[in-house]
């Protein structure tokens, strides 16, 4: 397209933007409504309450494995700010503390290390108060996990002994068991797998509402073609030295810019006002641009089958809402099980939310978000390409 045609397309886009700003539709549809809904959703569903437990430990053993339990099972949650641990000199003191200001107490019995090193059973006692079941459950989980690691260590010892072809001496067994039991957990609190990376609820609903209304606002710009035809302004534009594809380019450009502005306002607004964390701009910006492309492609395809502004708006809204539901806009389903998760990835909404979650990965966020960017851009190009085959009829005067 020549430079003049692009200049005219920009004029048409600027005129559309001015109209949308003046009739406040862009403000309502692309900013106020998604921001308000994101706020309502995140408030209704709520954030998990801040968890903090207070534990007591009565180490009656004082051995290597008792120390390992303290250092490797309890210290990390203390460091994460999730718990506070106090030492009690006796079992009685620990039991008394429970029910006062301690949620649960760990009683490490005398001979704990020796029993494990000897391959004998021993009991780690948990005394829990009835007032905070979460803290008690967490205490049980910590103990169970430590117990599992000890069991693993004991199995490792047995395996190593088999390979050597002779039993290990007691000192070596003890050293291996202690080392393995005290090794870093195999699953860290910071999730590292792709499928389980999650956005917090405020960010999730900010993003999901933004992408929902992105589709609705994108169609507004394209539906205006029908309004222009009905009003006669499209005929007037086409009677000027302006080609039909220039008009279409102007409409698309206007819708693109309007969507980009709205997403920017929403991104900044939800970050500042409700604390949403959209992720690093280097990954988020390509993701948003690709999502806009997908929204424009799908909206244009839907509009190309419509016969009037009313039909185009109704069909566009139906498609946008359906994709939003499937894509997990209203309930986080993208990382849910089975069918819901698969359906979410059939929609641009699902890919956008997934890409945003991936962008929170450590290292190179764009690398993690790249698959979602590619899928969204492909959706936009394919649907837009199909739509362009039919779009000429949209830009005819009669």
Pairing of strands 104-108, 83-87: unpaired
Instruction: Give yes or no for residue 31 binding another protein (CB under 8 A).
Output: no
Supply the minimum distance, in Å, between the C-beta of residue 231 and another protein: 6
Supply the minimum distance, in Å, between the C-beta of residue 223 and another protein: 15
Number of neighbouring beta carbons within 10 Å of residue 30: 25
Sole window of 8-16, 82-90, 168-176, 215-223 interacting with another protein (rule: CB under 8 A):
8-16
* Neighbour-count burial for 333-349, b at 16+ CB within 10 Å, e otherwise: bbbeeeebbebbbebbb
Instruction: Give yes or no for residue 233 binding another protein (CB under 8 A).
Output: yes
> Read out DSSP for 297-354?
HHHHHHHHT-SSHHHHHHHHHHHHHHHHHHTTSSS--TTSSHHHHHHHTTSHHHHHHH
Q: Contact with another protein (CB under 8 A): which of 17, 225, 238, 303?
A: 238
Instruction: Give yes or no for residue 397 binding another protein (CB under 8 A).
Output: yes
Q: Alpha-carbon distance 100 to 125, whole Å?
A: 18
The count of chain residues that interact with another protein, using the rule CB under 8 A, is 27
Instruction: Give yes or no for residue 19 binding another protein (CB under 8 A).
Output: yes
Supply the minimum distance, in Å, between the C-beta of residue 389 and another protein: 17
Supply the minimum distance, in Å, between the C-beta of residue 265 and another protein: 21
Q: Contact with another protein (CB under 8 A): which of 39, 50, 240, 269?
A: 240
Q: Which of residues 241-270 bind another protein (CB under 8 A)?
A: 241-243, 245-246
Question: Which residue reads 């279409």 in tokens?
Answer: 248
In the bound state with another protein, the residue whose beta carbon lies nearer, of 246 and 383, is: 246
Q: Contact with another protein (CB under 8 A): which of 80, 118, 141, 235?
A: 235
Instruction: Give yes or no for residue 398 binding another protein (CB under 8 A).
Output: yes
Instruction: Give yes or no for residue 309 binding another protein (CB under 8 A).
Output: no
In the bound state with another protein, the residue whose beta carbon lies nearer, of 52 and 236, is: 236
In the bound state with another protein, the residue whose beta carbon lies nearer, of 4 and 390, is: 4
Q: Which of residues 52-81 bind another protein (CB under 8 A)?
A: none
Sole window of 84-92, 137-145, 208-216, 234-242 interacting with another protein (rule: CB under 8 A):
234-242
Angstrom distances, CA of residue 324 to CA of 205, 211, 256, 299, 344 = 12, 8, 20, 14, 9
Q: Contact with another protein (CB under 8 A): which of 52, 140, 164, 231?
A: 231
Q: Alpha-carbon distance 241 to 275, whole Å?
A: 50
Q: Are 397 and 230 in contact (CB under 8 A)?
A: no
Q: Alpha-carbon distance 139 to 105, whole Å?
A: 8
Angstrom distances, CA of residue 75 to CA of 21, 189, 323 = 56, 13, 45
Q: Alpha-carbon distance 74 to 77, whole Å?
A: 6
Return residues touching another protein (CB under 8 A).
Answer: 1-2, 4-5, 8, 11, 15, 18-19, 22-23, 231-233, 235-243, 245-246, 397-398
């Amino acid at each position: 397209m020549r430079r003049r045609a692009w200049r005219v397309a920009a004029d048409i886009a600027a005129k559309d933007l001015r109209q949308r700003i003046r009739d406040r539709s862009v403000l309502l549809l692309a900013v106020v409504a998604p921001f308000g809904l994101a706020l309502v959703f995140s408030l209704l569903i709520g954030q998990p309450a801040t968890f903090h437990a207070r534990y007591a430990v009565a180490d009656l053993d004082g051995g290597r494995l008792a120390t390992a339990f303290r250092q490797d099972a309890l210290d990390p949650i203390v460091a994460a700010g999730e718990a506070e641990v106090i030492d009690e000199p006796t079992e009685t003191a620990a039991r008394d503390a429970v029910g006062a200001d301690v949620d649960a107490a760990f009683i490490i019995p005398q001979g704990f290390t020796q029993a494990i090193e000897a391959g004998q059973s021993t009991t780690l006692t948990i005394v829990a108060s009835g007032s905070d079941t979460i803290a008690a459950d967490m205490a049980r989980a910590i103990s169970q996990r430590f117990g599992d690691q000890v069991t693993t260590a004991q199995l490792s010892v047995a395996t190593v002994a088999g390979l050597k072809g002779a039993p290990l001496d007691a000192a070596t067994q003890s050293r291996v068991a202690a080392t393995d039991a005290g090794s870093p957990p195999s699953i860290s609190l910071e999730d590292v797998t792709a499928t389980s990376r999650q956005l917090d609820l405020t960010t999730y609903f900010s993003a999901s509402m933004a992408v929902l209304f992105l589709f609705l606002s994108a169609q507004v710009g394209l539906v205006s073609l029908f309004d222009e035809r009905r009003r006669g302004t499209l005929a007037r534009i086409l009677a000027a030295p302006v080609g039909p594809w220039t008009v279409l380019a102007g409409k698309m450009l206007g819708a693109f810019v309007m969507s980009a502005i709205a997403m920017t306002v929403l991104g900044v607004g939800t970050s500042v006002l409700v604390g949403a964390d959209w992720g690093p701009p280097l990954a988020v910006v390509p993701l948003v641009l690709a999502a806009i492309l997908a929204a424009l492609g799908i909206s244009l395809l839907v509009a190309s089958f419509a016969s009037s502004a009313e039909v185009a708006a109704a069909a566009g809204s139906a498609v946008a809402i359906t994709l939003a539901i499937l894509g997990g806009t209203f309930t986080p389903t993208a990382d849910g099980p089975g069918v819901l998760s698969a359906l979410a990835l059939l929609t641009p909404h699902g890919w956008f939310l997934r890409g945003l979650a991936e962008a929170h990965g450590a290292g190179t966020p764009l690398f993690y978000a790249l698959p979602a960017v590619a899928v969204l851009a492909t959706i936009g190009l394919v649907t837009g390409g199909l739509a362009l085959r039919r779009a000429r009829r949209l830009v005819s005067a009669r």
